[in-house]
Structures are given as C-alpha cells and as structure tokens.
Structure 1
Amino acid sequence: MSAGGAGIHPTAAVDPAARLGVDVEVGAFTYIGADVEIGDRTRIGAHCSIHGPTRIGRENHIHGHAAIGGEPQDKKFAGERVELVIGDRNTIREFVTVNRGTGDGGGVTRIGDDNWFLAYTHVAHDCVVGNHCVFSNNATLAGHVEVGDHVILSGFVGIHQFCRIGMHAFIGMGAFVNGDVPPFVMVAQDGYGRPRGINSEGLKRRGFDATRTAAIKRAYRALYMSGGSSEDAREKLRALAADSEDVRHLLEFVESGQRPLLR
C-alpha cells in the first residue's frame, strides 16, 4: 500500500497491494483489496468493501456500506480479469453496489465524473455511465446499459439490459425501461415506462434557450407523434437536423441503436 498522508482508521483492512493517493480517508471496518487504486482526496466511509481490479479517481465521496468492484452477477463469469473504472468527484451513498465487467461484455464497467448515486442504487456489469448524472434511491441498471451525460433516474427506476439512455433524458419514478430512450426525452411510469414529451425543465436549468428547446420539441413530435412509419419519422428528423446540432445528436442516437426505441 502506498499512501501520502492517508487517514486510515485502525480497524480498516487495506491490502498491501492497494494504492492510495494523497489525503485519502478510509473509515472504520472498511475493506480495500489488492489491485485497487484510489485517487487523491477521496473519502471512503465505514463498512465499505472495494474489490479490484478497480480504479477510482480523485475527490470521490463513498459513504458507508457501499460495495464497489464486486464480481459481476453473471453466470458466465469464470474469474477472468475484469475491471471497474470510476472517474472524479462522484458521490456514492449508502449501500450502493457497482460491479466489474465481464470477459465477453468488454471487460470494464465505467463511470464518469460528477455523478450522484443515492442509497441502494445498483450499476451492473459492463455498464457505461457518463458525467453529471443523478441516480435516485433504488435506481437499478442491468448489465450492458449505457447512460449519457446529465441523465436523471428517479427513485425505483429499472433499466433493462443492453438499453441506452440518451443525454439529458429524465426517467420518472418507478418506470421500468425496456427500450432505448433518445436524448432529451422524459419517461413516465405506466406499467412499463412510456415517453411523455421532452425534459424541458432539465434543459432550461442547463442553459438551453428557447430556440434549441423548440427544435428538440419538433424532433420529438416527428419521432413519436407523426403517425407514420419509423422510416418516415427518421426522414423528418434528417430534415430537422439540418438546422439543429441537438437534433443531429438525437438522430445519430436513433440510427445507431441495436434495440428498439422505447414507445
């Protein structure tokens, strides 16, 4: 173990092969395993477990009883080397679980910067989470899910494996999502989640002006309310994309998906 001025509680168990940065704090009865790297000024609460291979960046705050870097919950996992990579300035609250990747799923679970994971949230194997996301209590990702930047998952949301959630999307409380959610879209609970317009309030808070928001609304109507075929909707999006970078991003998301869009 290498540590520069690290504040490690005497009851913590830190493997000698772990590498801790400057001013890392480790709480009582926390376990940190071999092949774990923790960046400068990261704080880890009591009764946590962090298993490697795991790389955690700077200035994260991991609260008590979180379980980070555990083996993937996948019957095909056979002990191969797989990783978890977490960026900087994330807040990970009590009883959060984040698993490493799988050998046939890319081998890495990856989390970006400045995210909030509230109590009892779960990030499964091979997921990719962007930056500035909020996962409210008990929100859950199955394996291989991709989440873009500035996404909000409300409490008790469940995302089906291999789904993608586009940037600036908002998933309402208790929604179960079994298809791709395009960027900017708001989803509400209705048995399974259903699209319910765009995330206007979230876009406003992030500085989107009226022109940008109007273009996104037109794109939403073309995609979900035009009444034509899927290809007809895409043709309308292509026309709208000529004048809007946001619509171009939405179109790229729609055209690159392997799963059906949520409807």
Structure 2
Amino acid sequence: MTQTRGLANQLVGAGCDGLVLSGTTGESPTTTDTEKTALVRAVAEAVGGRAHIVAGVGSASTRHTAALARAAEGAGADGLLVVTPYYSRPPQAAVEAHFRAVTDATGLPVMLYDIPGRTGTRIGTDTLLRLAEHPRIVAVKDCAYDLLGSTKVISRTGLAYYSGCEELNLPLYAVGGAGYVSTVANVAPRQLRAVLDAYDLPDPAEAARLNRLNLPLVELMMASGLPGTVTAKALLDAVGLPAGPVREPLQPAGREAVDGLRAAYGELLDAWDLPVGSR
C-alpha cells in the first residue's frame, strides 16, 4: 500500500479536497472485499483529516453493498459512494429501497451514483426527490447526461451534485453543481480544479478558456475507445507516478495509445507553462 499512500498524498497536495476509492476507475469490479477495506484504511492513514475519503461500496446485491459499507465505515471512510444495482435492472421502487437500506446500514453520509450507461438503470427524478429527504443521502455523482433533469433536482433539493463526466464539469457547476469526481484529475488535478476556481472568482470567461485547454486530454482519456482505468493508469505510469497494472479482463494500453496520452499531457503542461511532473 506504499504506492497507494504516495498517490493519495500527491493528489491532496495538488488540490484535491476529496478522494473517491473503489470507483469504476479504482477497479472495484476486480478487487476483493478485503482489498477494498485495506485501501480505505491505507488512504485514511495517509491523508485523513486533510481530505474527505469516500469509499465506493456499490454492488448488484443490497446485502453485499451494506456489508461493504459497514467495512468501509470501520476502516475510516468519511462517506460512501453507492451505485445503482446493475444488470438486474430493478424498478424504481426497488432502487429506492436499495439505497435506503444501504444508507441505514451505517452512520455515514451517502453519495448516490447515477450512471445508467453502465448499470442499465437510471435513478428517476421522482426517486431522487424522495431519497433527498433522507438525512444522510447528501450527494449525487451524476453520469446520466441529462443536464435538464439534474438541474431540476438541484433546484428542488439540497443534494450536492458532482459531475462524473469531465466534459460536464463546468456546465453542471454553472447550474448549481458542487464539483466533480474525476478520472482525469488523477493525472491533472490542478488543471481541472482551476476551471471551477476561476468560475468562483467570478471569471466565467477564464473558466471557459481553461476548460478548453483541458479538453484534448479529457477527450483522449475518456472518449478514445479505452476505459478510463486503462488510460489513467497508463499515463500515471508514463509520468512516473504510482498506478500499477490493470486487472483482467482489462488490458494495458498499447504503445501508440501511451504515446498519444503522453503527448496530450505534455501539450497541456505546455499550455499551462508547467514542467512535467508538476501536475
């Protein structure tokens, strides 16, 4: 876990005020329950008190998810990320019951994860409005690609909305979002944060300019046909930061993809006038 602690410290030092562990990019489908708990404990020891630690505990089973939630709480997590149960495509009443049961399994705040492109099931607007009444359901990681629906929920609830799709970080923030949970931020945390910091100044024109600088790397990492896990680990390794190999069934990026990622990363640093490694 030495590399894990090192990367956690790197990210917090570069401006990340929270770390999400065992999300999709964190290879939650291929890590064991024991590994997930050990990961939370290691990161809590490394950066606890300096950043919020949110543990991904979602699974296709309510009972299993609740067990993972309790283990994460015991290991030092500050909050939980709970994805919609996948593959079985439960109806909305079952989705709501699942989230309530998992939330009630611990005393931790919960971020719901709405990503129907992967799970096959959307968290409906009415379901979100009802779940927002639960005192410990406090946030949403939004990968639904429905800015209108997200804006409606933001306007009618106190849920903190975090973009899970980098191309929507700025648009969602502009309509009341709280921030983002990002794959690209693993390699370019300062650059992604600077966009929202500029918007807060307020300087929306500068935020838009900085956002445009980031887009080539965002597109290459997230829309090139390779999973974000593969591109993030490839680029971290290419710039000398701890990442480790991907687990099967994923395969490592090929040389052409790695070269393209390294070039896009270098161009981003040049645009920001930063030396390689400064991130």
Shorter-chain TM-score category?
under 0.3
**Bigger proportion of residues as helix:** 2
**Bigger proportion of residues as strand:** 1
TM-score (norm 1): 0.27
TM-score (norm 2): 0.26
Which one has more relative contact order, counting CA pairs under 8 Å at least 6 apart? 2
Higher alpha-carbon Rg: 1
